[in-house]
Amino acid sequence: QVQLVESGGGLVQAGGSLRLSCAASGSFFRINVMAWYRQTPGKQRELVATITSGGSTNYAESVKARFTISRDNAENTVYLQMNSLKPEDTAVYYCYAAAKLGGLSPTSYYWGQGTQVTVSS
């Protein structure tokens, strides 16, 4: 199993910055993809950014050039640096991991509990 614990959310004014962290723990062979998603009330959870174990990244169009996802494989931690925040970035942000619990195991998928990010105008 993999446990994901997020931190770093909070309240910030528009134009400000926040850095989210997500630490993975538990018993697993390897975490392949880590990602950040976000969700607002009444809407579907949407992808914000992904990063592979090799460091390849992908971003939603709405956050490109403002957000940066990074990863420390040794610490099994993923980060999301959010700059130039806008009120529409307000959401609960969720950490996601696709992991193999054993070398021959299928990929399993895990979510963190979420952290609230609120951007005031």
Does the pLDDT at position 1 exceed 90? no
Tell which wins on pLDDT, 35 or 27. Answer: 35
The residue type at 101 = L
Residue in 103, 88, 110 with CA at minimum distance from that of residue 34: 110
For residue 94 the two structure tokens come to 């969720």
pLDDT at 39: 98
Q: Which helix or strand (DSSP H or E) is residue 47 part of? A: strand 46-51
89: three-class secondary structure by DSSP: helix
Contact (CB, 8 A) for 89 and 82: yes
| 38-74 tens-digit pLDDT | 999 999 999 999 999 999 999 999 999 999 999 999 9
pLDDT at 102: 86
The residue type at 72 = D
Beta strand segments in 73-114, E: 77-82, 91-100, 107-111
pLDDT at 103: 83
| 74-120 tens-digit pLDDT | 999 999 999 999 999 999 999 999 999 888 888 899 999 999 999 99
